[in-house]
Structure formats: structure tokens, C-alpha cells
Amino acid sequence: MSSHPIPTAAPSLDLAFSAARWCSFRFGSGSVVIDPTSGRYLYLDTLAARLLHLLAACEAAETALARFARELRVDLPVAAALARKLEGELAHCRADAAPPPDTAAGNGPVHPPPGAAALDAVLEVGERPVRVRCFDPPIARSFAGMAAPARTLNRDPAATIDLFGREGRSGEGGYHVTEDGRVLQATDDPFVARWALVRALAAACYAGRRLVAVLHAAAVANGNAAVVLAGAGGSGKTTLAAGLVRDGLFFLADDAVPLTADGEVLPVRLAMSIKAGGWPIVGALFPALFEQPVHRLGRGQCRYLWPVVAADPGPSAAPLPVAAVVFPRYCRGAATAVEPVSPVDLLAGLGATGTLPTGQKEAFASLLRWAERVPAFRLVFGDLDGAIAAVRRLI
């Protein structure tokens, strides 16, 4: 896979294609574009990839559009419309998670407001201790439940992760998530803010390793290899992970799974987040779930579960290769069905569920190589036992 720069300016488009900000990698029959600042990426089909290549090769965007129109044998307005579509997709990709302009421009670190944090602890969830400070009480209470299994330490942290209101007041004006003063996420959504906090913690506790991404997924393992369960909220991935743990696999992580450049995953000692819809099924497997308090964040509610079983790898366990990536989807009454997923669909599925690469060009190239070789599947299930058996056959 080779990367090629995007032109520094495209005068006929509103979006400036910046070689310093965007990188493009050939992947499948098209290309993948990544914004190194935010980590967001986008797969481009053959047509869009060709347009991008022309924009990279031509000094002026008008020249690129004219050549593109001749190749397609269409009028220039048609080519321009395709360019505008590409522009919109790239702009959305860039804006989705980019830090605010003042921080991105390098105007110095961003610090939380004065005063005590609602949660302030040095946590060991992986290899390095990390200090977490959360200044928003509802998010702090929710995160504290998730972090209950983590080891609390009384020693100097390797990094400090902060979550606080942008305007200095909880929930008003949105949230910042920072690492040592550097903004990682700016969002108005408390769920996104909490996820950004968890993702930042998972990355910081393994900063000594070459991470290529933090997968928004659950992971379980048999001691020799892991299965990654990726999916949006409500897909059934955590319920399936709980079922697999009850069936004898050990729990690696839920929500945030660090992936190394060698294609291996690492444990993160944070509890499973079980949404209300999964309480009956998971509670039947682990009755202790019903003893846990209900946490409310926005309109959602969940309980946290640390699946206490004999096979607990602990936060210092060795990384494990990934035997398969599975995209589960629970459908009531559906028969269990497994179908392979192409590398392009795997990458798109990870992006759609919130996975963020680390942003470095070399790391992203490693992520693409991993996506090309790791087996991936869609799993539709209406019966947990059938889904467990299907995943067991993949590991």
C-alpha cells in the first residue's frame, strides 16, 4: 500500500485538500483517506479514488476536473458534482472528531476549570498508571462504576486524562477530553465524551506499545487467540461477550480494545457496560448484575459487570493475536447465520462503530495491512447459545 499526498489547495472547491492534514492509502479497488488530526477515515470507491488521484497530480483543481470529465465522458458540471460529493464526505470526516480550531492551531494546552474534580484517581487498567479527572458529576458517577475493577494506585501517573465542560460548567457548552492539556475530543454529547475518556485511558495505559487503533468493541480470548466483537450500541456485542465468558473464555475488554501494530489486542481492566435491554439475558448468566446500581447518563441507563470467573488475565496479560473480528447483530427469532466480510467492509464497519486509529501515517498503514489479513464475519443471531457456538468455531 502506498500513500500519496492530496493537493495543498483546490480553488474550485470549498474544501482545501491539505497534504499536511490528509493522507490517502490504496486499499482494495479504491483508497482510504485518513485525517491524522482526528483519526477519522473514509473509504473511497474507484471513481472517487481516481478523482482524488487527479487532484493530487494536477496543480489546479480545474485541470483535474476537466481530465476527470474527459475520462468519464461526461459534462464538466457532472464531474464537479462528483467532486462536491467527495468534498462533503471529506469535510464530514474531518469535522466529526477534530479538535477545536484554537487547539489545533497550537495556541497552547487546554486545562480544566479550578476546583476539585468529581472523580480524581490514578488507575491501572493496563501497563501504565494513568490519572483520570472528571469534572462532570453525572459522567463521573457513570465512569466510576465502569472503573470499579481497576486497580487504584498511590504513585505518579504516566499521563493525566481530564474531562470537563468547555465553558467550565457541567454539560453546558459541551465537553473537552484532554490528555496532559492536549484536546482529544470536543463534543456536546455526554455518551461520546465518556467513550472518548475510556478510549483515551485505554490508549494512555499502553503508550509504551505501538498502537494502531483503539477498537470500539469487546474482546474475549481462549488463552491463545482473541475474538473481537465490534458493533454499535444495541447490537448485542456485550451480551454475546458475557455469554462467551460464561462459556469458558476469558474477558479482555469491553468498549475499548487496544490494537498493536503486530495485529494483537490487549486487555483493559474496565467493567462491561450492560444496557437495560441486556439485563434479563446477562443477569441470567451472572446474577450479580442485578445487585449493581443503575447508572443513568442522558436518556440511557446501564449496569456495570465485572465477570468474576477463574480465567482472569489481569491488566498485565500478554497481547494476543486476533483469530477473527465478528460484527454481531441480535434479531429476535432469527436463525444463527455467519457470513464472511471483505477487508473493505471490515474497515468500514469498524469506522462506523466508532473505532479511531492513532492518526500516524505508519500506524494507519499497519491497520490496513491487518484489515487485509484478519478473518472477519457478520453474525446474525436470535439465540445466544447458537451465537456462542458459532463464535467458538472461529477461535
Query: Would you give per-residue pLDDT tens digits along the chain (395 residues)?
Result: 444 444 333 334 433 344 335 677 888 888 888 876 667 788 888 888 888 778 777 767 788 888 888 988 888 888 888 888 887 777 766 654 444 444 443 457 888 988 999 999 999 999 999 999 999 999 999 999 999 999 888 889 999 999 999 765 555 578 999 999 998 888 888 888 998 999 999 999 998 898 999 999 999 999 889 999 998 777 889 999 999 999 999 999 998 999 999 999 999 999 999 988 899 999 999 999 999 999 887 777 899 999 865 445 455 568 999 999 999 999 888 999 999 999 999 998 998 887 878 767 788 889 999 999 999 999 999 999 999 999 999 98
Whether 224 and 340 map to the same domain: the answer is yes
Residue 150 lies inside a defined structural domain of this protein: yes
Whether 377 and 235 map to the same domain: the answer is yes
Domain count, the chain: 3
**Which CA distances in Å does 360 have to 38, 40, 101, 196, 242?**
10, 12, 20, 18, 33
Whether 170 and 126 map to the same domain: the answer is yes
Give the pLDDT of residue 27.
Answer: 86
Whether 29 and 162 map to the same domain: the answer is no
Residue 204 lies inside a defined structural domain of this protein: yes
Whether 296 and 315 map to the same domain: the answer is yes
List helix spans (H) across the chain: 46-57, 61-72, 76-95, 101-104, 137-146, 190-204, 237-246, 279-285, 343-352, 361-373, 384-392
Show the cell assigned to 244. 462467551
Residue 233 lies inside a defined structural domain of this protein: yes
Residue 35 lies inside a defined structural domain of this protein: yes
Counting Cα atoms < 13 Å in the Cβ hemisphere of 315 gives 20
Whether 204 and 218 map to the same domain: the answer is no
Whether 76 and 182 map to the same domain: the answer is no
CA nearest neighbour of 161 among 191, 128, 138, 188:
128
What is the domain range of residue 180?
119-208
Counting Cα atoms < 13 Å in the Cβ hemisphere of 138 gives 17
Whether 72 and 137 map to the same domain: the answer is no
The answer for residues whose C-beta is within 8 angstroms of residue 228's C-beta and 6 or more apart is: 215, 217, 218, 219, 257, 265, 322, 324, 325, 326
Burial 179-200 (b: 16+ CB within 10 A, else e): beeebbbbbeebebbbbbbbbb
Is 39 within 8 Å of 357 (Cβ atoms)?
Answer: yes
Which of 143, 173, 208 is the last residue in one of the domains? 208
The SS3 assignment for 335 reads coil
Residue 362 lies inside a defined structural domain of this protein: yes
Residue 276 lies inside a defined structural domain of this protein: yes
CATH number for the domain that contains residue 227 = 3.40.50
Which of 185, 208, 231 is the last residue in one of the domains? 208
pTM of the model: 0.84
Which of 189, 208, 227 is the last residue in one of the domains? 208
Whether 143 and 166 map to the same domain: the answer is yes
Whether 235 and 259 map to the same domain: the answer is yes
The SS3 assignment for 151 reads strand
Whether 177 and 225 map to the same domain: the answer is no
| DSSP-assigned states of every residue in 238-284 | HHHHHHHHHTTPEEEESS-EEEETTSEE------EEEEGGGHHHHHH
CA nearest neighbour of 194 among 151, 241, 112, 256:
256
Residue 107 lies inside a defined structural domain of this protein: no
Residue 68 lies inside a defined structural domain of this protein: yes
Whether 55 and 79 map to the same domain: the answer is yes
Q: d(Cα 170, Cα 136) in Å, to the nearest integer?
A: 5
Model confidence pLDDT, tens digit, residues 259-293 = 999 999 999 999 999 988 899 999 999 999 999 99
